[in-house]
Homo-oligomer: A and B are copies of this chain.
Amino acid sequence: MAAWQTLDVASSRRVDIIDLTPQLTALCARAGAREGVLVAFCAHTTAGMLLTEAEPRLLDDLRAWLERLAPQRVAYAHNTIDDNADAHLRAILLGHSVCVPVEDGRPALGTWQRILFVDLDGPRHRTVRAGVWG
Which residues from chain A sit less than 8 Å from chain B, CB to CB?
Answer: 1, 3-4, 35-37, 39, 41-45, 50-53, 55, 57-58, 60-62, 65, 69-70, 76-78, 80-81, 85, 88-89, 91-101, 103, 108-110, 112-113, 127, 129, 131, 133-134
Contacts and interface: CB of A to CB of B under 8 A. Distances in A.
- Can you tell how many copies of this chain the complex includes? 3
A78 B54 CA distance: 11
Contacts of A92: 50-52, 62, 94
A4 B108 contact: yes
Given A37-B39, A41-B99, A96-B113, 5 more contacts: A1-B36, A43-B110, A45-B112, A52-B91, A58-B78
